[in-house]
Amino acid sequence: MIIAVDGPTASGKGTIAAALAAHFGLAFLDTGLLYRAVGRQVFLDGGDPDSPGDALAAASFPDALLSDPHLRGEETGGLASRVSTHPGVRAALFERQRAFALQPGGAVLDGRDIGTVIAPDADVKLFVTASPATRAERRWKEMRSRGSPATLAEIEADIRRRDARDTGRKDAPLAVAPDAHVLDTSGLGRDEAIAAAIALVESLRRR
C-alpha cells in the first residue's frame, strides 16, 4: 500500500505521515527533508538558492547531510521552499522519491507533490491542511520552545510567502489531487489529527 500525504508547511502532514507509517508498518519518507538538504547545501556552498545552477549543484548533497540538525530550522525551511521552485532540482530528486514509493511492501511519503507527481497511483491520498493562522501558531510555539526570538507575525508572514511560492510555481505546484481526501487539522490536536487520519485510511482500505 502506498499512502501519499501532501499539504502546506506546518499543517501537521509530517506528524500524520509518520504516525500512519508506524500504524500500518510501512516505510516512511519525509520528502521535504530532501529539499531542505538541497537548501542547506546551497548555504554551505555559499550559493544562491534562487539560482537554478547553484540549486541543481546542491541536489547532489551527501547522504550524511540528512542527519544535519540544521535541516529542521526555520531558515533552512525557507531555503527549501526557494530551491524547490527549480524544475532541475525537482527532476534530480524525482527518481529517489519514486523508487522509495515503489519499494516492496509499500510506503508512506509526505510532501507537496506526492499524490500529483511522485506517486499519482498511490492507493490512498491525503491532503492535510490548516489555516495560515493555525499553522503559524503551531510553528511559533515550536520555535519558542527552542528559544527562537521569531514573532508570531513574522512566522505567519513567512508561511504565507511559502504558500504563495509552493502553489504558484510552474513545476509541480502544491495542489490537491483530484482523488485526494482533504483533512483540515485547524481544530484538531495532535492525537486527534492522527486518529482522524488513521480512521480515514482504514475506511478507504475497506472499500
With 0-12 / 13-18 / 19 or more C-beta atoms within 10 angstroms meaning exposed / middle / buried, residue 78 is middle
Q: What is the pLDDT of residues 19-68, one digit of tens each?
A: 999 999 999 999 989 999 999 999 999 999 999 999 999 999 998 999 99
Q: What is the pLDDT of residues 146-200, one digit of tens each?
A: 888 889 999 999 999 989 988 998 888 899 999 999 999 999 999 999 999 999 9
Given this model, what pLDDT does residue 147 score?
Answer: 83
How many helices (H) and strands (E) the chain has is answered by 8, 5
pLDDT band at 132 (very low <50, low <70, confident <90, very high): very high
Q: What is the pLDDT of residues 101-111, one digit of tens each?
A: 999 999 999 99
Cβ-count burial 39-48 (b if 16+ within 10 Å, e if not): bbbbeeeebe
Q: What is the pLDDT of residues 64-87, one digit of tens each?
A: 999 999 998 888 988 998 998 899
pLDDT band at 205 (very low <50, low <70, confident <90, very high): confident
**In the chain, where the domains are located:** 2-205
SS3 assignment, position 91? helix
Pull the grid cell for residue 146. Answer: 527552542
Given this model, what pLDDT does residue 123 score?
Answer: 95
CA 175 to chain centre: 12
Query: Phi-psi region for residue 7, left (φ > 0), alpha (ψ -120 to 50) or beta?
Result: left
With 0-12 / 13-18 / 19 or more C-beta atoms within 10 angstroms meaning exposed / middle / buried, residue 18 is middle
Nearest to 187 by CA among 126, 125, 131, 127: 131
Given this model, what pLDDT does residue 204 score?
Answer: 85
Given this model, what pLDDT does residue 54 score?
Answer: 97
Which residues is 108 bridged to in the sheet? Answer: 3, 28
Dihedral sign from CA coordinates of 116, 117, 118, 120: positive
pTM: 0.85
Given this model, what pLDDT does residue 142 score?
Answer: 86
Given this model, what pLDDT does residue 74 score?
Answer: 80
CATH C-level class of 2-205: alpha beta
pLDDT band at 144 (very low <50, low <70, confident <90, very high): confident
Given this model, what pLDDT does residue 72 score?
Answer: 85
* Cα dihedral: 119, 122, 124, 129 (round 10): 10
